[in-house]
Copies of this chain bind each other. A is one copy, B any other.
Amino acid sequence: MHDVAQLAGVSNKTVSNVVNDHPHVSPETRARVQRAIDELGYRPNLSARGLRSGRTGVIGLAVPQLRQPYFAELADAVIAAAERRGLSVIIGQAGADRAHETAVLANGLRQTDGLLFSPEHLGTEDRGLLDDVTYPLVLLGERIFGGPNDHVTMHNVEGARAAVEHLLSLGRRRIAVVGAHPDRRTGQMRPSDLRVRGYREALTVAGVPEDPRLEVVVAPWLPVNGVEATRELIASGVEFDAVLALNDSLAIGVLRALAEAGRRVPDDVAVIGFDAIADGRFTTPSLSTVDPGREEIAETAVAMLVERIEDGDRALRPRRFHKAAFRIVARESTGASTDVVGPWLPHPPATDGRD
């Protein structure tokens, strides 16, 4: 920078002004400095800038595991939203255990201005941890609820309810739900609890009796567990003509297990998932699902985090809470006839498996 200033015959400050697009620089000075920058191939040292300004231009995203398609697609959307704002994203995988997540929350991710955190293990009982957080934080999902932080999530209850209403509208009455979590204590806000609540609400409204044998407890939400749970459901002899899988990964396992058992989808059993991951478009049959609005979640969360970062220490805004719009995506697994082949777009506006 010093070299640039010398070559252009100005001071450091002026170079800095040019680099940062500050006003109050005469066009000719700006041009002269720019020429010097190009000639010398000058690139600002971002560590130094970070030291001086207290900003790194990097945000953190902590997810359980990137190899779970939902989180990969979420990360994709978050990175895109951040890059639109000139920010980089450090991704941390904290899903190994509670200790790992606690450590992430206590420290943030290194070298970042703020954190988007999607916890897997932390729950309402860990709410107290949030009060100690001193950096800008936006939570994704509802596992830790009621803290002082901004929160972006999806319509878990409403989405699941709409999914079940969709199944009911097909005339199904024996609707199983796969992916309930064990009741550790009441009042939990885990996605499984919320989605099960939506499932029950839909049944209640329709006057369809609940049957505990149709609520299959299985965690975590991986295809392999969807297979196993469905095999057990079939083996139990309970009759069912539809399945709500609480996410698409489970649903893929459900489809697999039903095919093994010779149950036809959707004729014998209709299946709907949740998340609208891309893979669901290409299963056989293609997978109906709830699109939770992942792009909106990513965009909103990044926007909120940026605002918090820019606020700095001032507590200017109240805590905010945003739920993205959702919609039901009806595909073959609930009887819709869809042609999966469409035009390929390198970065389509809707990237999450919508048809």
Contacts and interface: CB of A to CB of B under 8 A. Distances in A.
Contacts of A282: 223-224, 226-227, 252-253, 256
A205 interface: no
A278 B43 CA distance: 41
Contacts of A109: 88
Interface in A193-233: 220, 222-228, 231
A19 to B, nearest CB: 14
Interface stretch (A7-15, A66-74, A151-159, A169-177): A66-74
A255 interface: yes
A247 B139 CA distance: 35
A231 B110 CA distance: 49
Given A88-B109, A224-B340, A227-B340, A56 B67 contact: no
A91 B93 contact: no
Interface stretch (A123-131, A311-319, A321-329, A343-351): A343-351
A281 interface: yes
A41 to B, nearest CB: 9
Q: How many copies does the complex hold?
A: 2
Name the interface size band of chain A: 35 or more
A111 interface: yes
B341 A228 contact: yes
Interface string A278-293: 1101111010000000
A329 to B, nearest CB: 16
Interface stretch (A32-40, A75-83, A142-150, A235-243): A75-83
A248 to B, nearest CB: 11
A65 B76 contact: yes
Contacts of A341: 224, 227-228, 231
